[in-house]
Amino acid sequence: MQEDKAVMPQLLIPVPLHTRRLRQRGFNQAQFISANLSRLLNVRMNANLCHRPKYQPPQQGQTRRQRLAQMKGIFKVAAKDADHSICRIAIIDDVMTTGATAQALSTQMINAWGGPLDIQVWCVARAQPQDIRLDW
């Protein structure tokens, strides 16, 4: 029996913030996490490949359906900037709730590459919706 082993990504992509949100916070926590992971794991990071040209209000309190609708077209990745020698990417975020952000960014990455990619999502925390009960 062969064990499935995690394969190290070739590129780390921090979830981008809109410039308005970046000014409010003063830093992009996903970029901060990515920079440190890049250094520790010796994996390249690209914080300029993706951007978020459209501002949106915080997603807190929204359902998965609302979050998915709000995330449509929120990220831009230029196909000319896609490095086709890279086939394994990790999207880095601080917290994942429904996965809508990761799904939207993954879709844009796949479109820019023009084909399949191995996309991993790395996050520091996984938030559970309030109506989910975890039995330990």
Does residue 25 form part of some domain?
yes
Tens of pLDDT along 36-58?
A: 999 999 999 999 999 998 887 77
Q: How far apart are CA 14 and CA 31, in angstroms?
A: 5
| Cα dihedral value 111, 112, 117, 122, nearest 10 | -100
Residue 111 placed within a domain? yes
- The mean of the pLDDT values for the chain is 86
Token digits of residue 64: 């998965």
Residue 32 resides in a domain: yes
User: Domain tally for the chain?
Assistant: 1
Cβ pair 100, 67 in contact under 8 A: yes
Task: Please report whether residue 4 resides in a domain.
Answer: no
Phi first, then psi: what are they for 9, rounded to 5°? -70, 160
**pTM, rounded to two decimals:** 0.83
β-strand partners of 120: 90
Domain boundaries, position 118: 11-126
Buried b (16+ CB within 10 A) or exposed e, 32-44: ebbbebbeeeebe
pLDDT at 133: 56
- Size (the chain), residues: 136
